[in-house]
Structure 1
Amino acid sequence: MNELLLNTARQTLLLELQEASHLPDRLGDAFLRAAHAIIACQGKVIVSGIGKSGHIGRKIAATLASTGTPAFFVHAAEALHGDLGMIESRDVLLFISYSGSAKELELILPRLEERGVVLLAMTGKPLSQLGLAAKAILDISVEREACPMSLAPTSSTVNTLMLGDALAMAIMQARGFNEEDFARSHPAGALGARLLNRVHHLMRKEDVPHVHIDATVMDAMLELSRTGLGMVAICDDNDRIKGIFSDGDLRRWLVAGGILGAPVSEAMTKGGITLNAESRAIDAKETLMKRKISAAPVVDDNGKLVGAINLQAFYQAGII
């Protein structure tokens, strides 16, 4: 029994891979027409299908929507009971049907033609009713389904999924869609946290640890203890940072025999690492990690102190 299970699984994968291997050679003018139609679309891309094609269509619509192309899925049967009202003349309809002869097409195609909707087809039968009506055909045909009875859509659904991904990725690249664009449509995910957050979103804005340049080491030490961030910004009269005084600076000062009543300017690290409030949080975190420091003051574009941040703030925001 176990050997049968493994052999059938292996055979299924090999057959699906074999069929999918033909897809790159099918890319040509029809693929370009489909891609250009979607890029030029002034409305939305509606993906439709029924049965297994519908399930794959939902995924293709979701991939298009998350990569810069407004898109949604409409079930072919539901389209005939009111959902056709969602489709406008400026839209593009991508219909998926391996046979190209789904019964719903007999009623849907005339309505699309009346409205001047651009029709694209993903089908295994280019000469079908769907194929002949479409502006461009994406060929998902297979010689053999991976199903041992050649009945259940298997190789053909893999082809559909892969060709849909190829179309979405090509269009995404053509639009110049980048990581930050992707993050905006996934704001709750890890990528959104990494790319959308700026330092000012995460920094401490109140009770920022700092002392004046004329303060003593004792003053800075008390500020260290009070705020618990591990560092204190040393500022001039205009809140511009002249240096950083950290826990490490305090230890080194005391070990060297320095006194607490000395000016902090003698014990601080001159200049020091600062972060810009508008910089990306992920870049700021990498700066801290690279410099092997746990916290830093935050400045605005004019170099004035506006906050402070430590590594813990990045971890809490999901920036790992």
Structure 2
Amino acid sequence: MKSKKSTIESARSTLKLEAEAILNVAKNLDSSFENVVTNILDCKGRVIITGIGKSAIIAQKIVATFNSTGTPAIFMHAADAIHGDLGMIQVDDIIICISKSGNTPEIKVLAPLLKSAGNILIGMVGELNSFLAQQADLILNTSVEKEACPHNLAPTTSTTAQLVMGDALAICLLEHREFNEQDFAKYHPGGSLGKKLYLKAKDLALTNEKPSISPEASVKQVLIEISKNRLGAVAVVDVDNNLLGVITDGDIRRMLENNVDIATLNAKDIMGKNPKVIDCDALAVDALDIIKKNNITQLIVLEQNAYFGIIHLHDLLNEGIV
């Protein structure tokens, strides 16, 4: 078994080789890359991405990145393509074929079939004199000097080069399409990332009760309202639903610690008069920012300056915003 030092050295050597491969991909970018981006932007169909072996796995990741950033894409396994899946290709589609060698048996069978259909064929290839490179209309150069594998066999630096080339394409296309945060949220509604981009303060407040009380309410009434709604706070409002203040369970504890005669107090006597608030149309992630900065657990939500509801830190935790 290797010593700890040699293990770390091995890992650093691998990472260094892969970093150099990425820099090499950047150095090799040329007008062909620009032409690929232009053709995809002009494409009226989809981007079909194909490959075999490890290149097929990279193809699937690039498809996922394209789809989530505004470029419609479909994965087609190179082996399945020659057994029926070629039918998924439509006349307006563009095809990206990924292969390190560009000379695998499946690619040699597939490439001429793709060409015969008249679609633009883009070869993401590591060997510029390969069969795929010769067949392709455009080439994305993902050449690497050697794999990180000490035997120069296991696809490592070559698949890294393919992966970053896919990312470079996706981001260039995203920027050309002016794909923004709102667009991104449409394609990521279910995850915490999407929720940060679309979930609003009112969406959270509507899931809670709306505790409120008049300024003349007794301390007993305040306690009942706070306990009943389990938000740890109650808003003090006037007859027009304008926010006057807020009373939290912390305010109640501090009042009791002062040994005052609670029989003589009303809600207006113990409320905080400058509570932290947020507009109902603000993003939930902004509510989290206010809660964190002010070290509080509840936040009052307003709609056109009128009391709308309360957000609790637990609401943000439950939605995965935190």
User: TM-score by structure 2 length?
Assistant: 0.84
Q: Relative to structure 1, is the Cα distance of residues 212 and 176 closer, same or farther in structure 2, using a 3 angstrom cutoff? A: same
Give the Cα separation in 1 of the matches to 2:273 and 2:186: 39
Matches within 5 A, 1:225-240: 225-240=227-242
Give the Cα separation in 1 of the matches to 2:57 and 2:110: 19
CA apart distance, 1:276: 2.5
Matches within 5 A, 1:272-287: 272-287=275-290
SS of 1:43's partner is: coil
Q: Which moved more, 1:147-156 or 1:24-33?
A: 147-156
SS of 1:312's partner is: helix
* Code of the aligned partner of 1:276: D
Equivalent residue for 2:178? 176
Q: Deviations over 1:169-193 (max 9, x none)?
A: 3323333334554454444433234
Equivalent residue for 1:63? 65
CA contact (8 A) 1:218 1:261 kept: no
CA contact (8 A) 2:25 2:143 kept: no
Q: Relative to structure 1, is the Cα distance of residues 21 and 270 closer, same or farther in structure 2, using a 3 angstrom cutoff? A: closer
Q: Would you say 1:82 and 2:84 are equivalent positions? A: yes
Q: Which moved more, 1:130-139 or 1:148-157?
A: 148-157
SS of 1:137's partner is: strand
Give the Cα separation in 2 of the matches to 1:265 and 1:18: 67
Unaligned 5+ runs, structure 2:
none
Q: Relative to structure 1, is the Cα distance of residues 16 and 267 closer, same or farther in structure 2, using a 3 angstrom cutoff? A: closer
Q: Relative to structure 1, is the Cα distance of residues 312 and 144 closer, same or farther in structure 2, using a 3 angstrom cutoff? A: closer
Give the Cα separation in 2 of the matches to 1:168 and 1:216: 61
Q: Deviations over 1:215-263 (max 9, x none)?
A: 3444333322333322211222222222222334445556384653444
Equivalent residue for 1:192? 194
User: TM-score by structure 1 length?
Assistant: 0.84
CA apart distance, 1:213: 3.8
Give the Cα separation in 1 of the matches to 2:14 and 2:270: 70
CA apart distance, 1:138: 0.9
Give the Cα separation in 2 of the matches to 1:283 and 1:191: 14
Equivalent residue for 1:292? 295
Equivalent residue for 1:50? 52
Give the Cα separation in 1 of the matches to 2:228 and 2:101: 73
CA contact (8 A) 1:205 1:306 kept: no
Q: Relative to structure 1, is the Cα distance of residues 161 and 292 closer, same or farther in structure 2, using a 3 angstrom cutoff? A: closer
Unaligned 5+ runs, structure 1:
none
Equivalent residue for 2:305? 303
* Code of the aligned partner of 1:294: T
CA contact (8 A) 2:115 2:135 kept: no
Q: Deviations over 1:96-131 (max 9, x none)?
A: 123333444455445434543222111123344422
Give the Cα separation in 1 of the matches to 2:28 and 2:175: 20
Q: Relative to structure 1, is the Cα distance of residues 19 and 271 closer, same or farther in structure 2, using a 3 angstrom cutoff? A: closer
Q: Would you say 1:2 and 2:33 are equivalent positions? A: no
Q: Indicate which of 142, 153, 176 corresponds to 2:144.
A: 142
Q: Deviations over 1:265-313 (max 9, x none)?
A: 343233522332322112112212222322133232x333332221122
Q: Indicate which of 131, 134, 137 corresponds to 1:132.
A: 134
Equivalent residue for 1:40? 42
Give the Cα separation in 1 of the matches to 2:64 and 2:316: 30
Equivalent residue for 2:93? 91
Q: Deviations over 1:33-53 (max 9, x none)?
A: 112222332222111112232
SS of 1:163's partner is: helix
* Code of the aligned partner of 2:50: S
CA contact (8 A) 2:205 2:308 kept: no
CA apart distance, 1:95: 0.5
Give the Cα separation in 2 of the matches to 1:14 and 1:269: 57
* Code of the aligned partner of 1:2: K
Q: Relative to structure 1, is the Cα distance of residues 228 and 147 closer, same or farther in structure 2, using a 3 angstrom cutoff? A: closer
SS of 1:308's partner is: strand
Give the Cα separation in 2 of the matches to 1:15 and 1:226: 62
CA contact (8 A) 1:194 1:318 kept: no
Q: Give the paired residue count.
A: 319
* Code of the aligned partner of 1:88: Q
CA RMSD, Structure 1 to Structure 2 (Å): 3.0
SS of 2:291's partner is: helix
CA contact (8 A) 2:185 2:194 kept: yes
Give the Cα separation in 2 of the matches to 1:233 and 1:203: 13
Q: Would you say 1:166 and 2:149 are equivalent positions? A: no
CA contact (8 A) 1:205 1:307 kept: no
CA apart distance, 1:79: 1.0
